[in-house]
Amino acid sequence: MRRGVIGANLFLMFLLELGVITGAAFWGFTLPGGLVTQLTAGVLAPALFVLMWALFGAAANARFPLTGWWRVALEVIWFGGGAVAWAVAVTPVLGIGFFVLWGVNATVRIVTQDGLQVRVGE
């Protein structure tokens, strides 16, 4: 049962990661302003989120993996940024729901895996 919970929660985390990237793109493409502004923000915002996750948060091969409170800060900023993007681009309720869902996911990871760091291959 524990493996099933961990697997389902990791799948949820993957969906949340995609949600951050999608939210950043949606925010950028819906900004008020001209087409150049929208295209630039719609491409660069998710690219910056992806870069930040690749450098510090990716489970399998982060260049500079963070642990402890640094990992907490990374996830609050990263998933919080995605929540803010959804809140601004669509509705605050969606942003709040997104952040709450991440909170549940993080809590399950802490309880089942003794921390936020995702361990690959366990």
Segment 37-71, tens digit of pLDDT: 999 999 999 999 999 999 999 987 899 999 899 99
Q: The pTM is what?
A: 0.92
Which residue type, as a one-letter code, is found at position 117? Q
Calculate the CA dihedral of residues 38, 96, 102, 32 and round it to 10 degrees. 0
First-to-last C-alpha distance (Å) of the chain: 14
Checking if the pLDDT of 121 tops 60, the result is no
Tokens describing residue 101: 């869902």
Q: Which residue has the tokens 């990661």?
A: 17
For residue 113, what pLDDT band results from cuts at 50, 70 and 90?
confident
Contacts of residue 3, defined as CB under 8 A and 6 or more positions apart, other chains included, come to none
* pLDDT given for residue 53 in this prediction: 96
Structural contact between residues 98 and 19, judged by C-beta atoms closer than 8 angstroms = yes
